[in-house]
Structures are given as C-alpha cells and as structure tokens.
Amino acid sequence: MRGVATAASAPFFVPNLLSAPPSGKLRLASFGGGNMAYWTLHDIAIHKNVEMAFVADVDSARLGDLNKNYPNAKVYEDWREMLEREHKNIDIACVGTPDHMHAAQAMESMRLGLPVYVQKPLTHDIYETRKLTEFARKKGIITQMGIQRHSSKEYITAVKVIQSGAIGKVKEVHTWSNKTSGDLTPFPDRSDPIPSTLRWDLWLGTAEPRPYIADYYHPGKWRKRVDFGTATFGDMGCHIFDPVYSALQLNPPLSVRSEGLAPNKYNWAVNALIHYRFAGTPYTEGPELSITWYDGERKPSAEVHQKAGVKELPDQGSLFFGTKGQMVLPHTAMPIFYPEADFADYKLPEVEAPDHYHEFVDAVLGKTKTSTHFDYAGPLTETILLGSVATRFPNQTLQWNAKKMRVENIAEANQYLRRKYRKGWEVSGL
C-alpha cells in the first residue's frame, strides 16, 4: 500500500511526542468520522491531553458532529493519504470504520509506531487478528480494543464476584443478545447512483469492487453483509462474552459447533446457536467448560431457566451456573443472584471503574496500562470470530488448534480464517 511504508521498524514509544504542538497534547488521527467512529474519536479527544488533529472519512455527508465540534481537524477522504502526508504530525490513532477495514488501518498505523485504539471486533478475520496481536507484542505498541463496557463498574464487579468464588466453581455459561445483524432476504441485484458525498471505492477498501446499492451497505447495514461485517456475534459477542472470558481466564476454545442457519454468499444468518467447549481453568468445575451463545429470537431454553431458578432473563447478557448458585449478568447492569434467599445478605465488592477511552491515552502518557490491549483482545476476538466460521458448517463440530491457527477436522473451514485483499490494497504484515 502506497506511502505508509516509510517506517520500516516501529519504535517502542510514541514517535512524535518530542515534536508535539506547544500545547503538549497528543495529536489524534481517526479512521472514520461519523456514527460510532465519531463517538470513539470524541471520547478520546475530550481527554485534556489530546488534540483532535486529523480524520479520514469517505462520506462528507456524515461529518456534521465532527465539523461542529472539531472545526480545526483536517479531513481527508483517503486514509492512506492521511498517513502518508501527516504521519509525522500524529501521535495516536483510533479506528472506527466497518470491520473489513480495521486490520489494514490498524496495521499501517502500528507500522508507523502509532498507539492504536480499535473498535470491536478487532478485525474481520481470525488471521488478521493474530497478525495484529503478534505485531503489537513484538514492537511493544500500546493498544486498546473498543469494548468500553470492560471498564464499567458492572462488568468489573461481575469479574470480581466470579473470581472470589461467591457462586463457587462455574459449571456452564449461557450468553445471548436479541440483536439481529443478519439478513435472510434475497440479494437486491441492482445498481444505484452513488451519492455525490460518498467515495464508494474507498469505502470498499480491501474488498472486491461491486455496484453501490442504496441503503444496503452504507450506512450501518454492513454488519449484516459477509464481506464487511461479522454478524451479531462479531458485534455484541465481543461485549457480552468479554466478562465471561475475563472472569474465567479462558484459553482458546477446543471446539465450536453451530446449530443455526448458515450464511449465504452475501449475508449472515440470524438466530444463531453456537456451542463452545473450553479447557477448564481454576475458576471452573471439571476438565472442560461449555459455553453457549444465542442471538436474535433465540435464548436459553425453559429447561435452562428452570434449572437456574430464573423466571425472566434480560434482552442481552450472560447466565453463569456455579456450584454454589447462579449469577445473571445483564448487558449492562449489576449482577443478580439465584437462589435469591442464599444471597440475601451478600454484598457486592467495591470496585473502581476507569474511563476506557482515557485509559488508552493515560497508557500512552505512561500513567497506566490498557486493560484490553491486543494480547487480551486478540484471543477474545479470535474466539468470537471462530463462532462465525462455525456458522458456515451447521451441525458440525469444528476441532480448533489455536497454536497452529487451524481447524483440524474440516479442511474447508480454514479458507474462512483469512480473506484475500483486492489488488492494490495489500498490506505488509497481513
């Protein structure tokens, strides 16, 4: 990819701090400037030691909030041009574009030595996640993934509750979201005029060219599309699975099995049901642990409700079965315990909840460490994305070899671990 390969070896520190503006603030560059990208850059930029300096966005019609609140930020259409021209004037970067562009933008930033904050899921494909994680570790680059609820009081409390043994050793977990980032309708085989404000080819980025279809990909509907998003699981799974993964200190899954519909050529399906099997940890009972994910109209069965002693579950959350009781963790609210009588006098632990976005900035300034750096967020994302791979092979159990990054028993599944970037958009290291 042109231009940004000027930093052959990234330094182990923020490269431009000595040349920062007289204000002494870290100069932030954002990939994306509208919708979630705006709120990402905004929540970082309101830190007292940050200046919103550069934004790359392909649709000028969606930059109203940016233009209003950060009128001095210089806007580029092509993020590659932004890095090529401004990399010496950038200290930190954030990525809030559709999933298929996360890896390219994060990797090119890190190759320039820039600390990066990347929205969830970390990448579109497992291979991309592994490569970003390895590169960040090798170069000592400060990173953070945008699962901001990780730093919420509710989720930090839940992790402490589990690890304190309040519900005993965990025997099984059920996690779910009622969102439906999939599409079962036929593909609209048509081509619409591209809006004058949109650089469609730049929006496609690493993906293969295709006609623009109004209100089908952009804005917001890309999560449903196989080439651009990662379905409900890739979206909400990274949030909801996070406290489960963190509390139980899980290792990579041993196997995964989908019992829902498969995606078609264009779109992810809905109403997923995905079973994971993990090796046991000090916080679980027995040599293995079962975790089940549901989304859309699916939820834990009446039998699971009855076993847990729970009448109603929230729209999104997790249910932990322990040897001493059960815990429901809504997304996002304080945990609830069952049987209620057994926990009537239980007091939740006191915790402090940092600002997830500002934690990233403070880590760059040497004041703290990030909590969802890529060595944590990478394996979590790989686990989530493996579920998306499994949906392509309904009712088949995929045996996962994380060390070799390979499905051992279904060779065809491995083609979905890595996609090919279109010519001219290749990225060194990916």
pLDDT at residue 26, as a whole number: 98
CA distances from 282 to 97, 287, 289, 388 (A): 38, 10, 11, 28
Read off the pLDDT of residues 167-180 as tens digits, 9 standing for 90 and up: 999 999 999 999 99
> Quick one: which H or E segment has residue 164?
helix 153-164
Average pLDDT over the chain, rounded to an integer: 94
pLDDT at residue 269, as a whole number: 97
Q: Is the pLDDT of residue 17 over 60?
A: no
Percentage of residues in the chain having pLDDT higher than 70: 95
Read off the pLDDT of residues 237-257 as tens digits, 9 standing for 90 and up: 999 999 999 999 999 999 999
**Phi, psi (degrees; rounded to nearest 5) at 350:** -80, 135
Concatenate the DSSP letters of all residues of 209-226 into one string.
P----TTTSTTTGGGGBT
Q: Is the pLDDT of residue 9 over 60?
A: no
Nearest alpha-carbon partner for 372 in 151, 152, 97:
151
Report residue 5's pLDDT band, with 50, 70 and 90 as the boundaries. very low
Report residue 120's pLDDT band, with 50, 70 and 90 as the boundaries. very high
Q: What number of residues does the chain have? A: 430
Q: Using CA atoms, how far apart are residues 7 and 9, in angstroms rounded to an integer?
A: 6
> Token digits for 379?
């394996």
Q: Which of 19-28, 62-71, 81-90, 279-288 has the lowest mean pLDDT?
A: 19-28
Nearest alpha-carbon partner for 82 in 53, 107, 118:
53
Q: Where are the domains of the chain?
A: 4-148+357-372, 150-182+228-351+386-413
Read off the pLDDT of residues 245-302 as tens digits, 9 standing for 90 and up: 999 999 999 999 999 999 999 999 999 999 999 999 999 999 999 999 999 999 999 9
Residue 142 · residue 364 · CB < 8 Å = yes
Burial class (CB in 10 A: 0-12, 13-18, 19+), 20: middle
Strand partners, 400: 407
Residue 430 DSSP class: -
Q: Is the pLDDT of residue 131 over 50?
A: yes
Q: Is the pLDDT of residue 393 over 60?
A: yes
Residue 276 · residue 291 · CB < 8 Å = yes
Question: What mean pLDDT comes out for the span 49-66?
Answer: 97
Fold for 4-148+357-372, please state it. Rossmann fold (3.40.50)
Q: Is the pLDDT of residue 19 over 60?
A: no
Count of beta carbons in the 10 Å neighbourhood of residue 197: 11
| CATH numeric code, 150-182+228-351+386-413 | 3.30.360
Read off the pLDDT of residues 59-80 as tens digits, 9 standing for 90 and up: 999 999 999 999 999 999 999 9
Nearest alpha-carbon partner for 29 in 98, 135, 109, 100:
109
Residue 317, Ramachandran bin (φ over 0: left; ψ between -120 and 50: alpha; else beta): left
Report residue 24's pLDDT band, with 50, 70 and 90 as the boundaries. confident
Burial class (CB in 10 A: 0-12, 13-18, 19+), 202: middle
pTM: 0.95
